[in-house]
Amino acid sequence: MKEKEHVEAIRAHIVRDAEALRGSGKPSNDYTETVLTAILQNQSRELIKSHRQPHFARIFFKEHGRTVNEDAYIGRFGIFERETLQPIVLDWRSPIANLYYNDAFENVSVDVDPKHPLTFDLERKRQFEFRDGSLEAFYDSENGALIDRLLLERLSARSGDKLQDIVETIQAEQNRIIRADARENMVVQGVAGSGKTTIALHRLSYLAYQKRNNAAHTQFLVIAPNRVFLDYIANVLPDLGVEGVAQYTWEDLTHHLLPKKTKFASEAQKRMLFFEESDDAKRAEQQIIIHAARLRGSMAFARLLLRVVEKVAKQIVPDADLVLSPRHQMPKEEIARRFFDDYRYEPYLKRRKRLLDSLARFAQDAIKEEIARFDKRLTKGRYADSLEQSAKIKAAIEERYARYVRTVKNIDIYALYRKVLSSENNVSRVLAELSDDLELNEQTKRYVLARYAEADRTLEWEDSAALLFLTRHFHGFAADTRYAHMIVDEAQDLSAFQIFVLTKLSPNATLSIFGDVSQSISPYKGLTSWDEVTRDVFAERAAYKTLEQSYRSTVEIVTFANRALQRYQTPGIPLAKPVLRHGVEPEILQTDETHEVGALIELISRIQSEGYKQIAVVEKTIAACSALQDRLQKDAAYTLPLLSEKTEHYEGGLHLMPIYMSKGLEFDAVIVLNPSEHSYDARSSLHAKLLYVACTRALHRLYILQKDPLTPLLQAE
């Protein structure tokens, strides 16, 4: 059957099946009926989504060692003959579809049955090109001549205002990460443009498919850098058939889990200290702040806190018997057994509550029994004496009980945390594990001790991991934190301690950690390598994978962006390797203070006239963005929308933004404003990373609008 006719035949089948499913299932209190209805409704949605483009690929293959030729179509969702369950189109997540994504053509192993993997040989792969719902063309590739035309076409396309799925163009190295065993933890170091975010979301879709009959996707959690980013990726999972995934920023998750509302200091002032020009005094202050942040984000600090927790827990229960009367005594050994053994699966303050509840019942029973014993000895008719004595018995036992309860310690985790960091011994011990720079350790110790000696000093976000750690041990996390798998994106901006806390969020969950230490632009809180994560957080039991191929930007843009990193390349972290997609060279345009506003407006107009809609004008700081906004409005009555931390919904189009808000996003064109030698110090690895992040946001066009001498970080060597 010709391919166009086959498409129409599938569409006719979709229409029939969708009609048959319409109204299937019914509201019910029966669990089985509810699950069945959800499955049928999901099938109906998938059929409707498949109508426009039923499939994107076809593979021609045979089982290795056999002569029977087979073929299969692959699409976003599986389509079946309802009566026979014979596949018409295979879901991209199915085992056989792995043949399409694998980079080999011979002896390809497929786990159709996990106990008995099969091996296949491919004759060829066929890719289909649809435009506006119509099949326009198809392309075949054979062993030794694989040209991914769909990939090149997608990479050459204009950007949208939301992240799109990549099921048609998943590459072999991406596919291996997507399909990795759900039972293993994974750390993925990927260069800018390697598709980390899309891989992460497709991995969730793949895992949901593996458990598709038990709504496993409701047990997933995504941690993203900010709310703009969450809005930017909002369409991907629903388009892949996955609904109901919990999605948080670290900040939102922290507020969700802490036992009470907690105020944290804004990072704006700290960013200014690091992002603005620095003299020797500022650089010295930066080093102390970085070292103090490293202390609070380290696994060495986590180990110290665990020792503190264990010590404090032993002090909750007093080393004394509970004596309510000569006949009602509970030995301290029994009380300790209840707290440490009977309630051992509960966090400590819940144990405390359960213990006090049991002791309260013991006291009430004692009161009843002692009153009954007195009444039994009392002469009949002396009712008034009975009431008076009963009240005395009750008051005496309650007083003894209350006196004992006051010795069962309550724990304020906030006060405990400040106490830990107010201890010179504690701070010195952790700093000694982190560094042998005695002078820096001493300066940092004085900084930390002074900061946490003030009970009313506002906490910082670097404190959040420790507070959540203490919350888990003393209060416990909410019941809705039971996840099967967690995705952490832009993880280089978290500390090892933060990632460790996530591993404790849900006991049986596994994690996939995605990030790029070359884009770690928050030195006061982020990672500079993955060593502490793989070694201490996961105890060497996490797979470490790298993605070196950059698909986002052209060869010219990636080559230009790599200039910034070359002198500060992290050991073991390779520079990005661009896909062979060429474009125009990045333009460095000269202007001056007087003409800067006009030059910027003219450049934006030129980019838009070339058909590019998604445009980012990038400044170093939020203060610089605000100043530029004011100048544009004052000098030219020109409005340039600002993307900031307060932005929650990303609408696409033209935006002005600080570099840190651009991370994870991509644009048709990026304009970097005045990366001068004064603003971007060639001696600063942070400034190099900032420029790298800014430049690698661009898909097709990169412009440097320069009014001062260009920083050496972007000059060709």
Tokens standing for residue 149: 């035309």
The beta-strand segments (E) located in 319-461 are 322-325, 328-330
List the structure tokens of 168.
Answer: 């048609």
Distance of CA 602 to the CA centre of its chain: 38
What residue has token string 């390697």? 194
Contacts of 547 (CB under 8 A, 6+ apart): 173, 174, 177, 188, 189, 190, 191, 194, 195, 196, 199
572 marked as binding residue: no
The total of other beta-carbon atoms located within 10 Å of residue 434's CB is 16
Residue with tokens 């605000």: 626
CA distance 427 to 449: 8
CB 75, CB 52: distance < 8 Å: no
Is position 196 annotated in a ligand binding site?
yes
Look at residues 626, 622, 686, 623 and name the one whose alpha carbon lies nearest to residue 659: 622
**28 marked as part of a ligand binding site:** no
d(CA 214, CA 482): 15
**Do 357 and 342 contact (CB within 8 A), yes or no?**
no
- CA angle, corner 375, sides to 371 and 376, nearest 5? 120
Q: How far apart are CA 155 and CA 132, in angstroms?
A: 18
Give 676's DSSP letter: B
609 marked ligand binding residue: no
Q: Torsion-angle region of residue 51: left (phi > 0), alpha (psi -120 to 50) or beta?
A: alpha
Per-residue exposure over 414-423, b if at least 16 CB sit within 10 Å of its own CB, e if not:
bebbbebbbe
Whole-angstrom distance, CA of residue 288 vs CA of residue 365: 59
Alpha carbons 110 and 63: distance in angstroms, whole number: 10
| CB neighbour class for 212 (10 Å; exposed up to 12, middle 13-18, buried from 19) | middle
> Of 508, 510, 512, which Cα lies nearest the Cα of 482?
508
The Cα 297–Cα 281 span in angstroms is: 24
- List Cβ neighbours of 700 (8 Å cut-off, separation of 6 or more): 158, 554, 583, 612, 668, 669
Q: Could you give the C-alpha distances from 60 to 75, 120, 124, 263, 706, in angstroms and in order? A: 15, 10, 6, 60, 54
Q: Which residues make beta-bridge pairs with 684?
A: none
Biggest CA–CA distance in the chain, Å, is 109
Q: Which of 677, 710, 672, 715 is nearest to 691 (CA)?
A: 672
Tell whether 191 is in a known binding site.
Answer: yes
Phi and psi angles of residue 545, each rounded to the nearest 5 degrees, phi first: -130, 150
509 closest CA partner among 540, 538, 546: 538
194 is in an annotated binding site: yes
β-strand pairing of 246-249 with 220-224: parallel
What is the secondary structure of 597-621 as a DSSP string?
Answer: HHHHHHHHHHHHHTT---EEEEESS
Answer yes or no: are the C-beta atoms of 372 and 359 closer than 8 Å. Answer: no
Binding-site annotation: residue ranges for ATP:
190-197
Binding-site annotation: residue ranges:
190-197
